[in-house]
Amino acid sequence: MSTIASEEKIKIRLRYWNVRGRIQPVRFMLEDVAATYPNVDYQEDFELLEKAAEQWPIHKADSKISGPFGNLPVLTWNDTHIIAQTLPIGQFIARKFGMYGTPKTANADPIVFQGLIDGVVSCAYTDIIISLFLILYSQVEFDNPEHAYAILSSTPFFYDQHKPTIADYFVFYAFTLAKDFHSALLPTEEDSEALRKFEQVMRERPALVKYFSEGRLFDRFSGSPTEQEYRAKIAATKV
């Protein structure tokens, strides 16, 4: 259940680099939130990689910009509270806007159900999203079958809700990021059939249709200075 009253004015500012990065599933969540709640004023402020050398040292030292840990992402709530780190930001938004779903049985423990959803989120974030960025920064050779990161298995997940939970956004991003990264990271066609159908359902959400049609999804994944060269290299690799 949402904890936000429909008449309550809410200002949300997200700050991250102008890349997809770790925060992309939260961006998807916030697009849906802004489309669902007219009283929510949501905007993202970008830290530009192109100006990182000159601007970031200054911004990093300013806790109003870089938060309590001096890094991004951060979310500012009503110009008062700053939430740092991807998972806490996503979980905060999920709690505030009812994105943890509802147990199907009346006597089910909602805290247990939230734990199940968070398990999916953690699996998608830690096992897939973070692993993909480790691959990018370490520049794994995909034609080397001995490398531990050369193949990732499919991630099982569970939800029986009428609208997306936080888990859906993280699994959606994990799967689409893997697709855009390299085919070697995907399960077989048979194993990923359900994920592909799920991806299509998420892409058809009106707020995300608008987001993608406006070209707002960054092509760049990360801040790695060698990303483009590495992606071109692995794109030419056949496995």
Q: Which CATH class is domain 10-235?
A: mainly alpha
Nearest to 88 by CA among 98, 73, 100: 73
Q: How many CA atoms lie within 13 A of 183 on its CB side?
A: 8
- List the domain boundaries for the chain: 10-235
d(CA 6, CA 37): 7
d(CA 196, CA 203): 11
8-state DSSP, 82: E
The pLDDT tens digits for 142-188 are 455 554 444 333 333 344 667 888 988 988 898 888 888 877 666 66
Q: 15-24, 27-36, 52-61, 149-158 — which is least confidently predicted? A: 149-158
Q: List Cβ<8 Å contacts ≥24 apart for 87-90.
A: 87/121, 87/122, 87/125, 89/14, 89/23, 89/26, 90/25, 90/26, 90/29, 90/121, 90/166, 90/169, 90/170
pLDDT band at residue 48 using 50, 70 and 90 as cut-offs: very high
d(CA 89, CA 46): 16
pTM of the model: 0.75
* Better-predicted residue by pLDDT, 65 or 137: 65
Nearest to 193 by CA among 135, 154, 236: 154
Q: At what angle do helices 166-181 and 193-203 cross, to 10 degrees?
A: 110
User: Which H or E element spans position 238?
Assistant: none
